[in-house]
């Protein structure tokens, strides 16, 4: 498989344009994460060894243990960096003063774009296929992806000004899980099982509907 094909498999870890402005050590860590991401997506988690990653990234295996704690820690780092790519430009939910509907619509469309990217669809398929033989893969996937999103939303719903607008019988973590389920259920199933080609534009209207239905159910 060519480098170009590997890059297409892993837009979650895009290479920055030009020479990295970070220190050489930070740039090497970034390169290590990119190499690992492309190998995981091309070959699968179980078929990629730390030795293989270290050789491709031109680092010592010990470096991976020191920086990430092992293969599962490196995999989690890939998810965190990929997730940051989609949410880094979103207004901080801890301080946003926009109406709740606007905030959730912004989140919903970004989340849909992330979830339905071909790289993430392939990632879900890999985790489903290999989690039974590598439980640490499933834990790293949840910790680096779904848990981060749930906690981000829970912190938002726990804000006093937001909490005052919501039903008192619903806890923040329940709201976050419910919202994610409203946004992901049908599209993810279709994409995972190849029922439809991945096209985020197709689902844009349904995101707005999902947010409105969610708010009807949770607002006072």
DSSP 163-197: HTTB-TTS-HHHHHHHHHHHHHHHHHHHHHTTSS-
Q: What is the mean pLDDT of the segment spanning 75-100?
A: 92
Q: Which domains does the chain have, with CATH numbers?
A: 3-74 (1.10.10.60), 90-218 (1.10.357.10)
Rounded Cα–Cα distance for residues 83 and 77 (Å): 10
Would you put residue 90 in left (φ > 0), alpha (ψ -120 to 50) or beta?
A: beta
CA–CA distances in Å: residue 204 to residues 98, 104, 125, 151: 21, 13, 23, 24
Please write the tens of the pLDDT for every residue from 138-186. Answer: 999 999 999 999 999 999 999 999 999 999 999 999 999 999 999 987 7
Please write the tens of the pLDDT for every residue from 42-83. Answer: 999 999 999 999 999 999 999 999 999 999 999 999 999 888
Prediction pTM value: 0.81
pLDDT band at 86 (very low <50, low <70, confident <90, very high): confident
| 57 Cβ neighbours under 8 A, 6+ residues apart | 28, 31, 32, 35, 36
Question: Who wins on pLDDT, 22 or 164?
Answer: 164
């Amino acid at each position: 498989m060519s480098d170009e094909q590997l890059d297409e498999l892993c837009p979650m870890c895009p290479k920055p344009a030009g020479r990295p402005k970070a220190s050489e050590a930070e740039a090497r860590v970034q390169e290590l994460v990119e190499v690992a991401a492309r190998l995981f997506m091309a070959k699968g988690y179980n078929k990629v060894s730390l030795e293989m990653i270290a050789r491709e990234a031109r680092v010592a295996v010990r470096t991976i243990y020191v920086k990430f704690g092992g293969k599962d820690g490196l995999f989690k780092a890939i998810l965190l960096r990929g997730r940051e790519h989609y949410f880094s430009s979103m207004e901080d939910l801890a301080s946003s003063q926009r109406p709740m509907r606007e905030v959730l619509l912004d989140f919903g469309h970004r989340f849909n774009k992330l979830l339905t990217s071909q790289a993430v669809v392939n990632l879900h398929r890999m985790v489903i296929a290999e989690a039974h033989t590598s439980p640490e893969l499933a834990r790293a996937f949840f910790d680096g992806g779904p848990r981060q999103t749930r906690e981000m939303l829970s912190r938002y719903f726990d804000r006093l000004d937001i909490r005052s607008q919501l039903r008192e019988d619903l806890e923040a973590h329940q709201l976050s899980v419910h919202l994610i389920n409203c946004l992901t259920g049908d599209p993810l199933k279709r994409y995972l099982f190849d029922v439809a080609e991945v096209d985020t534009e197709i689902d844009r209207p349904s995101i707005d509907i999902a947010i409105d239905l969610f708010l009807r159910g949770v607002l006072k």
